[in-house]
Amino acid sequence: MLYTIIQIISFQALFLLVYDLFLKKETFFNHNRVYLLVTSILSLVLPFIKFPELRKMTSNDVVIQLPEVFIGPKIPTEYEVLVAEQTGIVLEQPQLPIWKTIVLTGIVIAALIFLFKIAKLYWLKYHNPKRWYKDVLIVRLLRSSAAFSFFNTIFLGEQIPESDKATIFKHELVHVKELHTLDLLFFEMLRIILWFNPLVYIYQMRIKELHEFIADAKAVKQHGKTQYYKSLLNQVFDVNTISFTNTFFKTSLIKKRITMLQKSKSKQLHLIKYTLLIPLVFGMLIYTSTEVRAQEKTETIEEGISQELTDEELIEKYYQEFLQMDKDESEYREIINKISVDYNDKYIESREDYLKLIAFGRYLMQTTIESKSENGNLTQNDVDRMEDMKAKTKSYTEFREWKKTQEAKDLWEASAKYGELRLVVNDIANKTKSEQKRFDALIEQLNFDPDFHKLIVCDTKGGSRLELSDPQNITSTSAEIIEVEENVEVPFAIIDEAPTTIECQGLKTSEERKRCMSTFVSTHVNKNFNKDIADSLNLKGRQRIFTSFKIDENGDISYVSARAAHPALEDEAKRVIKSLPKFIPGKQKGKAVVVPYSLPIVFQIVGNANTPNNDRFNDSLNRRNIRKLESLIAQRDRILQSTSEKNPVVVNLNKQIDSIDKVLVKPIKNKQKLENLIAQRDRILQSSSEKNPVVVNLNKQIDSIDKVLVKSIRNKQKREVDKAINNGSTKIPYSVINIAPIHPNCKTINSLEEQKKCTSTEVQKHVNRNFNMDLPEKLGLTGGKQQIYIGFTIDKEGTVKSVKSRSSHPKLDEEAKRIINLLPQFIPGEHNGKAVDVAYSLPITFQIVDDKKKKD
């Protein structure tokens, strides 16, 4: 709604600009009147007009958005596994946003003022002498020299000289006959609805000027210019202040009216100026129509991104979007529109639509529980109901399997709308005999039963849909099957073959190739981006860089662009993207094509870029502030896509981000200060002793900061563990466990600390012994370092489970998981006397030597 209002104001500004620059001084008064009325209506209508044909005039490039590249220590996000349905949940309507409250209040006040003016007019009409002249009612205003008209009523002050009354009457009579009051009332309605829009007031002033010019031009023909000038100049004006009446005496208009009376008629050739309206309106139509295209393109990009996420991560993503809309005080209707998919017409929803519906159910559940908790009427039954919904929720795979059952088919066919027939088959192109028989029967029913006008046929694969709505031309064999994307399961829905690398070309599925390609680009950017640039630019916090480029028909990088808060960041991003190697080009229908890409880069700066082991201190950061910081940054970045840093909203968000960022980087600054003090002390000790007063003072400062850091980390760790235990979790981080899991070869060691070291050593030996070192060469990986990040859990029984891996190639992930799963049974870890699950992370780094170095 807010965006629509901005469009209306923008269009009105353009229309008025054309009027003031090209048309205002012309004597085509009636043409100008039509222009102002038509353009004011167009400004209200154009934002809602969308022409698909105009969308085709814009670029048809398919922009593939790569997953976000994160440079610097990324702060992990916790995902809460909670799935729910929306059935039976009642959500209270959110409160009306403040800005809407202000707008509605203004409308009410403006309407009351309008009613007061109407009442004042009718008071004047019924409390003053009046008489009829043909179809016109003349009201004589006592003790007044004002003159104005309203519909078919002319108000004339009794103090107007008799010599001028005839001239003024003829003037006001023109207003009555030309129905000028309707024009003014139209703009008065706009003033009520758009009371905050100054352009509506300008529109009304312009139309009132034209009314006077039109009336003057016709009245002066009957009385001559000399007498008319005298009537205008020799009055002691008593001007009424009602905005929707046509006033004869208005001081600010007298000079303009006389100027227009003296002006020669405009040449007919000048009528060509009105054709300026054609390209102006056409441009606005293109803008409003291509705006839809941009939205569709964004949705296509989102579908591509969603392929990178697991079901749980995608549910969390949609859930956070619903929460953000709630925080932004969006109307409930706007939140509902986010899932406005016509599920009733689809047999199998896409993965995104299905998980979005689950996320919406989770949002409804959460807001309902919070509302009841605040009101004090939350019951155990509500909590049990939530758990019951969670248990009944199907994964997308389970949902697809259920859709193949007869129960699901019968349910969908029975839920047809009025006048609609439905049929589910296994394969539309190859129907079985029984399916064909049912299909023929429904066709016959559609032909001869006037109560039905449509037949929808879907298959259990979810990829085809047949819709028949012309019963006169339907036969069971001549129907055209319409392929629709009900189930978007491919990474890039439009391009046949996306660009890829030589290393990724041999992978079997398009999903693997896409993942490999994305990882390759991300690794390249991470490896080559100059992280020291943060020091030279004095940057801090999270810096976002939006880059775009194209991979042309030859596989080369072209048209590289970047946008960031600092020009140096843009230049660095362009340099890194241009250094990408040659790709295997993308193909559409067998032909190589240009494929545009967009790549968001996030540069996280938490202190000096050269400071080692920064990751170790991230544990002391406040998680709540981090989430708030990420939310503010995301909100600011969305706004910056369509505005500048000078926008007051962006300025305010930057202030909030800076204030939180100071809190977050405090431990890092303490760490930097500590290292600087240690370095200073060590330099002095090279030529002095510990007894040196300067060294003694430095040691005191070092001890003081070190205590703060250690205390902060320990408190944070204790809070995390206590919170996990209170929530019923038995999964404890390895770094804070009382007694860590022990490798079988280390159980004879008495010291807990030595047992930890021994276990770590045994795990490393296990990896070194079992890792297939020939695998990188078989995969064609280039020389240099390769890293694999592994996460796994040793449960309460000492068994390794939940193994996860992340690397530059899927085969490396498979090898890493294979090795970890070969680990023996451990002696389980304990915390506060209880056996617990212990989370481990294990980075594997290996060096690949290229062929040339091998020969050397």
Predicted confidence (pLDDT) at residue 748 exceeds the cutoff of 70? yes
**What confidence tier does 364 reach under pLDDT thresholds 50, 70, 90?**
confident
Handedness of CA 219, 221, 225, 230 (dihedral sign): negative
Predicted confidence (pLDDT) at residue 564 exceeds the cutoff of 90? no
**What confidence tier does 329 reach under pLDDT thresholds 50, 70, 90?**
low
Tell me the pTM: 0.40
Q: Which residue has the higher pLDDT, 658 or 521?
A: 521
How much is the pLDDT for 729?
A: 56
By DSSP bridging, strand 591-593 and strand 147-150 are unpaired
Predicted confidence (pLDDT) at residue 514 exceeds the cutoff of 60? yes
How much is the pLDDT for 114?
A: 92
* Residues present in the chain in total: 856
What type of residue is 121? L
3-state secondary structure 527-549: HHCCCCHHHHHCCCEEEEEEEEE
Partner residues linked to 154 by β-bridges: 138, 149
541 and 661 in contact (C-beta within 8 Å)? yes
Task: Tell me the pLDDT of the chain averaged across its residues.
Answer: 75
Q: Which residue has the higher pLDDT, 682 or 618?
A: 682
Phi and psi at 335, nearest 5°, equal: -65, -40
What type of residue is 562? A
What type of residue is 3? Y
Contacts of residue 647, Cβ cutoff 8 Å, sequence gap at least 6: 639
What type of residue is 815? E
Least confident of 6-20, 371-385, 609-623, 637-651: 609-623
3-state secondary structure 5-55: HHHHHHHHHHHHHHHHHHHCCCCCHHHHHHHHHHHHHHHHHHHHCCCHHHH
Q: Which two tokens stand for residue 607?
A: 């202190």
CA distance 167 to 255: 18
CA distance 158 to 126: 16
CA distance 780 to 501: 11
Q: Where in 426-479 does DSSP place strands (E)?
A: 454-459, 464-468
Q: Which residue has the higher pLDDT, 440 or 326?
A: 440
Least confident of 95-99, 197-201, 354-358, 418-422: 95-99
Predicted confidence (pLDDT) at residue 271 exceeds the cutoff of 60? yes
CA distance 733 to 713: 14
How much of the chain, in percent, has pLDDT values that exceed 90?
12
767 and 845 in contact (C-beta within 8 Å)? no
What's the alpha-carbon Rg for the chain, to the nearest Å? 38
Partner residues linked to 742 by β-bridges: 827
**What confidence tier does 516 reach under pLDDT thresholds 50, 70, 90?**
confident
Predicted confidence (pLDDT) at residue 650 exceeds the cutoff of 90? no
How much is the pLDDT for 306?
A: 52
Burial (CB < 10 A; 0-12, 13-18, 19+), residue 370, is: exposed
For 602, left (φ over 0), alpha (ψ -120 to 50), or beta? beta
**What confidence tier does 611 reach under pLDDT thresholds 50, 70, 90?**
very low
Residue found by looking up tokens 């009555």 in the block: 176
How much is the pLDDT for 37?
A: 93
User: 299-303, long-range: CB within 8 Å, 24+ apart, which pairs?
Assistant: 300/62, 300/493, 300/494, 301/63, 301/64, 301/65, 301/598, 302/352, 303/352, 303/488, 303/493
Q: Where in 158-270 does DSSP place strands (E)?
A: 246-247
CA distance 710 to 702: 12
Least confident of 272-286, 434-448, 459-473: 459-473
Q: Which residue has the higher pLDDT, 386 or 519?
A: 519
What type of residue is 285? L
CA distance 34 to 332: 40
How much is the pLDDT for 443?
A: 82
Task: Convert the pLDDT of each residue in 471-496 to its tens digit.
Answer: 444 443 333 433 333 333 233 335 67
Query: How many CB atoms neighbour CB 35 within 10 A?
Result: 21
**DSSP-assigned letters across all residues of 325-383:** HHHTT--HHHHHHTT---GGG-SS--HHHHHHHHHHHHHHHHHHHHHHHHHT---HHHH
274 and 24 in contact (C-beta within 8 Å)? no
**Hey, is 88 helix, strand or coil?**
coil
CA distance 175 to 212: 8
Mean pLDDT in residue range 553-562:
88
**What confidence tier does 199 reach under pLDDT thresholds 50, 70, 90?**
very high
Task: Convert the pLDDT of each residue in 215-238 to its tens digit.
Answer: 888 877 766 666 666 666 554 344
Phi and psi at 395, nearest 5°, equal: -70, 170
**Hey, is 848 helix, strand or coil?**
strand
Nearest to 544 by CA among 500, 591, 600: 600
By DSSP bridging, strand 541-551 and strand 837-848 are unpaired
How much of the chain, in percent, has pLDDT values that exceed 70?
69
Query: How many CB atoms neighbour CB 530 within 10 A?
Result: 14
How much is the pLDDT for 617?
A: 37
How much is the pLDDT for 399?
A: 83
468 and 455 in contact (C-beta within 8 Å)? yes
Task: Convert the pLDDT of each residue in 706-742 to its tens digit.
Answer: 666 656 655 665 666 666 665 555 566 666 677 888 9
How much is the pLDDT for 61?
A: 44
How much is the pLDDT for 82?
A: 27
